[in-house]
Amino acid sequence: MPKIKIDGEELEVELGTTILEAAKEVQVNIPTLCYLEELSVYGGCRLCVVEIEGEKNLKPACATEIAEGMEIKTHSEKVRRVRKNIFELIISSHNIGCELNCLDCSWNISCELKEIAELIEIDQSRLDSINERYDDDNSSHAVVRKMNKCIDCTRCVRKCEEIQGVGIFTKANRGPETLITTFKNKGMGNVECANCGQCIHACPTGALHESYHYNSVWHFLNDDSKFVVVQTAPSVRVALSEGFGEEPGTVATGQMVAALRRLGFDRVFDTNFSADLTIMEEGYELIGRIKEGGKLPMFTSCSPGWIKFIEHFYPEYLPHLSTCKSPQQMLGAVAKSYYAEQHGINVEDMIVVSVMPCTAKKFEASRLEMEDDVDFVLTTRELIRMIKESGLDMMNLAEEKADKMMGASSGAADIFGATGGVMEAALRTAYEVITEEELGKLDFKTLRGLAGIKEAEVEIGELTVKAAVAHGLGNAKELMERIEAGAEYHFVEVMACPGGCVGGGGQPVPTNQETVEKRLNSLYQIDAEKKLRKSHENPEIKAIYEEFLGEPGAKKSHDLLHTHYIPRSI
Amino acid sequence: MEELSFLEKLHNLQDTYGYIPEREISNLAEEADISRAKVFGVISFYSMFYTEPTGKYIVRICDSLSCYVNDSEDLVKAVQDYLEIEDGETSKDKKFSLEVVECLGHCGEGPVMMINNKTFTQLNEKKALNILKECK
Amino acid sequence: MGERQLLKKEATTDITEHNFSALEKALTMEGAEVVKEIKEAGLKGRGGAGFPTGLKWELALAEEADDKYLICNADEAETGTFKDRYLMENVPFKVLEGIIIAAYAVGANKGYIYIRGEYSKPIKIFTKVLKDAYDEGLLGASILDSDFNFDLRLIKGAGAYICGEETALLNSIEGKRGKSRTKPPYPIQSGLFGQPTVVNNVETLTSAREIIDLGAEEYGALGTEESKGTKLVCLSGDISKPGVYEVEFGELTIREIIEELGQGVKNDEQLKFIIPGGASTSIIPAEKMDVDYSYEAIAEIGSSLGSGAIIVLDDTHSLLDLMVNVSRFFMDETCGTCFPCKDGNKQLNYLLKKAVQKGGFTKKEIELIRSIGETIILSARCGLGQTSSNFINSIFDNYQAEVLQRGNEDAEN
Ligand SMILES: Cc1cc2nc3c(=O)[nH]c(=O)nc-3n(C[C@H](O)[C@H](O)[C@H](O)COP(=O)(O)O)c2cc1C
Ligand code: SF4
Ligand code: FES
């Protein structure tokens, strides 16, 4: 192993190690900007430059491998001077200087640039701002691009391409016209974007954020003639608290419900309820397809990013998608029918708001096929903003419960937020419905965890159900390739975001492997601690079928709870 | 030898259509199994490729140092006035596109103007306008 | 005194008139022997960096691979440079010979000549040259009945200066954005499509051809200790007789080149300074014109011979305008990858334009511009960024007093 020296510390490291990695071994963190561990190395920002003894030019630590005898200085006079200048150049060439827009920046709560500025001790800013003036890209229902803030680090480009396998972004032009853009500058709404919002998590400058709905929500909350109801997705409760300084994974279900009531929502429902409902519908659909020789494998349909991905890239597979609406849409649909009817609320006056970990849900709610179900979609981040704006000390609110009729849920619904969760929930119900026996062990451990693609075979009576689970669209693409190559499954669960909804594009910053894992564990914890752990045993679910829907898959559910898809080419 | 390289394909399309149409970009992307955004990224890197139709005549005038000291800016000005378009624009009748470019490699014979594939050297305003007038 | 013509000699575009003696000779030698000749002749790369060609070939020859590539870099786009065009237009078969000899020497089986897209005439000529050469058995299988096989293909560039940088060139041929690559690995180890690749300039390869033709000894007798042979010089700017001249290294001073070959500054104006090797090299002021034309003598006075593009500037220009013009070149041509190069050259252009408006710099501004320039040079990945502020810095080094804003030199802002 080569021997090297970093800031005078001797160490031995494997050949092929980068300077950046080697430095970590002697507890030196070299500042980086375009580098992200999960992505390929770009080496463009040059903030990570170091001095190598005997070489005139500085070298980027992220893109330079160590060599025998290297003597590296990570913060020499030259290095410190150069990286401060680079930082100054970045700030002045893009619309990201503090005096310009810290205050309304989507990243103001957790600013990577500020951290870097602190790390490298920026003490002056001598340059005029010479930012190009680009228009914002507002073409998408899900994600907004503020091109003026973009510094061309390509983190979104690489995330979209390497992790999500979609690749809607590119670096275009050269020289002073260099920019990150979409195909022919069409805008995110006019290309094959899945709306997953993972690019938002990749962006260090806040150039990307969700298309905001919170102002509209404020508006209707203040309109007494409207009956405003809200629903919250499983993953929100294990992430919301991060916005209030809690450890990732801290559960805040009761506090969240209380906060929503204090914000003025007339009813607080739980998307978990409709997750249970989804399991009923989807479970019966699967059983039907297996029994009656329908299209298999059946694909889950609760992740709208995944739906759009299939519509663009695999339109021939549309018949494989379950026709079930997602839990968000189902809840909207039954709120505006079942609940409205029973409480004599004029549907015209009802506003359904959902709080989602997801940006694609915004697009989903706008789909013409079901645009009446949900009116506004807030991300977890937007709800954090609203609660903050209202002055509430959320974590110290007394816990409250969601409203009756659409507030109860099983543990199976909670794990919807985790990759493999929908599959596990469905299997718990399918098993008992088909075999009419009680399922002994409820935990399907092979379906859990962060492996990109998980496969399992589950014995249900006579039948061996072959299941596959993928999370992140890059993995989904790989799974689709397997299916195209002949792999046979009955049931396939895909969630567009890495980790599942807990890692959604609308979740708090930072959303990374570490935070995703903690949120995920909390969901399984909630499930484990619940008495009610199977969707079909949820009393409110039993009630809605008895009082309103009839049977799963019957006419009424079909009209309200199912939908169809649109082939979109690229 | 191997099949056409990607760059050659782009040249062929550019020569065929005068720009590289969207559907051809999609085809290229599919063939190469990369996103069409990426193909656009490649095309837009190069000054001689276009993704929108240009004028029939692309007029390129060099304004790099050797030409600059031989009064290329006067030439640029005269051509702009004559064509009534600025750098990067196409005339309304789609006849001319004007591009002020960096060194064209005829620095000893500046100022220099290219019209499509033809290079004209040792120009002055009068000569240049006469050449443009001949573009029908 | 005057030109010393080797490369320029025996011009023809007719294959039947060209004598392929050098190639024939090379094919009777071992590859390693050819490399040895080039090494002994002391040839240095003429593309701008001056890397010893023999060494490059030796390293490439030692690489084992299924495919090995030889690339002739004819992307010539450095301001003031037009010698490769001269060679391709006038002695294309010598260029071809050089390419084949190089391929033979390093054991390359495939090759490309990458000609900038704007060079329509050379492209036309070379298209014909390749066709003729294939017809005559000079390319393809069993070249001149030897057991050497080599395929050569012409690739047109598409308008991007940076593609002349060797690793950007590889990306461009591969059909990617023409951005440079991180080195190491060097092209010799992992170049085109990951295979060992030699990239050489047109003039380098043509000179290699002359070396084999004359023999290392005779060629090496020309020039100085560090600069062997002849060099094409492109004279442009404020000069009476611009053009491509071939000089023996060390024979003439820059003053002699300007006065004797170029017949002095145009319109009898006063010489202010020259740029010896294109816009990426530092200027040489009029007082230092008596420097010998050689790599070492020019390096000695703090500049570089670069590609051999001597741009002559008289004293009628505004230095500020010239700085803006040169900085725009780099701003326009950066591939846009390195933040310091992309944003830095943009800032420099902005600061220089601002100075034009106010009629000069404050000392503080000069300090700032130099500091940004230093940052670009030290932290950029490729030669473009690393040389982009040489011109500006050298103007400050030589003419700071002239570019200060009179009466406001010490202002804070
Ligand atoms: C920005 C930039 C542009 C360059 N352009 C050219 C060029 O047009 N032609 C060329 O031969 N070398 C050019 N070079 C130098 C090449 O990188 C490389 O050093 C050269 O082709 C090697 O050949 P040689 O050793 O024969 O000179 C350029 C370098 C840089 C940094
Ligand atoms: S130095 Fe400039 S031209 Fe070279 S790779 Fe970096 S950005 Fe591109
Ligand atoms: S400077 Fe104009 S052609 Fe070179």
pLDDT at A564: 96
CB contact under 8 A, A184 and B34: no
**DSSP reduced 3-state for A209:** strand
* Average predicted confidence (pLDDT) for chain A: 95
Instruction: Tell how far CA B76 is from the center of its chain.
Output: 15
**Distance of alpha carbon A4 from alpha carbon A24, whole angstroms:** 13
Q: Looking at chain A, which residue has its C-alpha nearest residue B38? A: A170
Q: How large is the average pLDDT for residues C193-218?
A: 98
C2-220 maps to CATH 3.40.50.11540: yes
Other CB atoms within 10 A of residue A100 CB: 16
Chain B within 8 Å of A180 (Cβ-Cβ)?
A: no
Q: State how far residue B37 is from chain C, nearest Cα, in angstroms.
A: 12
Rounded-to-integer distance, Cα C371 and Cα C5, Å: 44
Gap from C64 CA to chain A (nearest CA, Å): 22
HSE of A33 in the Cβ direction (CA atoms, 13 Å)?
29
| Ligand 3 center from residue B106 Cα (angstroms) | 5
| pLDDT at residue A107 in the model | 79
Q: Which protein residue's CA is at the shortest distance from atom 25 of ligand 1?
A: C45
Residue A506 pLDDT > 50: yes
Residue B61, beta-bridge partner list:
B100, B113
Average pLDDT over residues C367-380: 97
As assigned by CATH, the class of the A3-119 domain is alpha beta
Helical ranges in C215-311 per DSSP H? 216-220, 254-256, 295-300
Residue C162 reports pLDDT greater than 90: yes
Average pLDDT over residues C267-296: 97
Q: Which of the 8 DSSP states describes residue C174? A: T
% of chain C surpassing 90 pLDDT: 97
User: Domain limits of chain C?
Assistant: 2-220, 230-314, 319-403
Judged by CB atoms closer than 8 Å, whether chains meet at A170 and B45 is answered as no
Mean pLDDT of A515-542: 97
Residue B1: its pLDDT value, please?
Answer: 47
- Statement: residue A95 has pLDDT above 80: no
Which burial class, exposed, middle or buried, applies to A271 when counting CB atoms under 10 A from its CB (0-12, 13-18, 19+)? buried
Distance between CA atoms of residues A260 and A240, nearest Å: 12
Per-domain residue ranges of chain B = 6-45, 57-133
**B53 contact C CB<8A:** no
Q: What is the pLDDT of residues C165-201, one digit of tens each?
A: 999 999 999 999 999 999 999 999 999 999 999 999 9
pLDDT bin (cut points 50, 70, 90) of residue B2 is low
Distance C336 CA to ligand 2 centre (A): 6
The verdict on A90 touching C (C-beta cutoff 8 Å) is: yes
Say if C368 is an interface residue toward chain A (CB within 8 Å).
yes
| CATH 3.30.70.20 for domain A143-212 | yes
Exposed e or buried b for every residue in B34-49, given b needs 16+ CB within 10 A? bbbbbbbbbbbbbbbb
Q: What topology is assigned to B57-133 in CATH?
A: Glutaredoxin (3.40.30)
Looking at residue C134, its pLDDT comes to 98
Domain residue extents for chain A? 3-119, 143-212, 215-561
Confidence of residue A98 (pLDDT cuts 50, 70, 90): low
Nearest CB partner across the interface for C346, out of A46, A60, A176: A176
**What CATH number has the domain spanning C230-314?**
3.10.20.600
Query: Do A46 and C379 lie within an 8 Å CB cutoff?
Result: yes
- Which residue puts its alpha carbon closest to atom 6 of ligand 2? C338
Distance in Å, CA B15 to ligand 3 centroid:
25
Ligand 1 in reach of C178 Cβ (< 6 A):
no
Place of tokens 């900038």: C116
Task: Average the pLDDT over A435-439 and give the result.
Answer: 92
- List, for residues C50-94, the tens digit of each pLDDT value: 999 999 999 999 999 999 999 999 999 999 999 999 999 999 999
Q: DSSP state, A133? A: -
- A346 and chain B in contact, CB less than 8 A: no
d(CA B134, CA A401): 82
Give me the torsion for CA of A362, A366, A372, A378, rounded to 10°. Answer: 20
Paired strand residues for B113: B61, B120
CA separation (Å) from C293 to A330, A342, B55, C9, C204? Answer: 82, 96, 46, 21, 17
Nearest CA in chain B to C177: B42
User: Are residues B22 and A184, on separate chains, in Cβ contact within 8 Å?
Assistant: yes
| CA A483/CA A49 separation, integer angstroms | 45
Give A45's contacts in chain C (Cβ within 8 Å): 339
Q: State how far the Cα of B127 lies from the Cα of B114, in Å rounded to an integer.
A: 13
Q: Which of A42, A92, A174 sits opposite C347 (nearest CB)?
A: A92
> Of the ranges A423-437, C124-138, C374-388, which one carries the lowest mean pLDDT score?
A423-437
Q: How far apart are CA A499 and CA A421, in angstroms?
A: 10
pLDDT at residue A99 above 60? no
Contact A89 C331 (CB under 8 A): no
Looking at the predicted structure, is the pLDDT value of residue A453 above 50? Answer: yes
List of chain A residues whose C-beta atoms are within 8 Å of the C-beta of residue B53: none
State the smallest CA–CA distance between residue A183 and chain B in angstroms.
4
Task: Tell me which fold the domain C319-403 belongs to.
Answer: de novo design (two linked rop proteins) (1.20.1440)
**CATH 2.60.120.260 for domain A215-561:** no
C-chain residues near A89 (CB < 8 A): 339-340, 343-344, 347, 372, 375
> What's the pLDDT score for residue A97?
63
Q: How far apart are CA A56 and CA A69, in angstroms?
A: 17
Average pLDDT score over residue span A370-391: 96
For the stretch A43-57, pLDDT in tens is 999 999 999 999 999
What pLDDT is attached to residue B136?
85
CB contacts of B38 in chain A (<8 Å) are 161, 167, 170
Across the strands, what pairs with A50?
Answer: A59
Q: Which of B106, B107, B118, B122 to mutate to test the interface with C (most CBs of C within 10 A)?
A: B107
Residue B130: which of B75, B90, B58 has the closest Cα?
B75
Retrieve residue A99's tokens.
């005096």
Residue C234 has pLDDT above 60, yes or no: yes
Q: What is the pLDDT of residue A173?
A: 97
Give the mean pLDDT of C251-280. 97
Q: Distance, CA C234 to ligand 3 centroid (Å)?
A: 11
Which of A152, A162, A179, A184 best tests the B interface by mutation, with the highest count of B CBs <10 A?
Answer: A184
Whole-structure pTM value: 0.95
Active site residues of A: 282, 285, 302, 322, 361, 364, 369, 501
